[in-house]
Amino acid sequence: MRPDVEATVNRILVEEFELEPARVTAEAHLVDDLELDSLDAVDLIAALEDAFGGRVDEEEARKVRTVSDVYALIGSAIERAVQTGRAPAPRASEALEAGE
């Protein structure tokens, strides 16, 4: 996975859910380790879609359990956007270029 995607996902988790950055690791379980609930999951998906300028596949999103799974989910969404010729929204491009 691209480091810029990982950094952006981590930043979203830290900022949206007021998590300590040290807790947000690839292996961290969203429910057990980060204590996110189903409403948080909806907020996370919305924040990810805003940041990356694309749509997340609902079926894939239901399978997400760890932060690493979130990285893969976003990677899939970006890959679909590239394959269909739909570029990410400017905001997402700016976030990725800035390394956020």
Cα–chain center distance at 100: 12
Residues identified as active-site: 37
DSSP 25: -
CB neighbours of 55 closer than 8 A, spacing ≥ 6? 49, 77
Rg, Å, the chain Cα set:
13
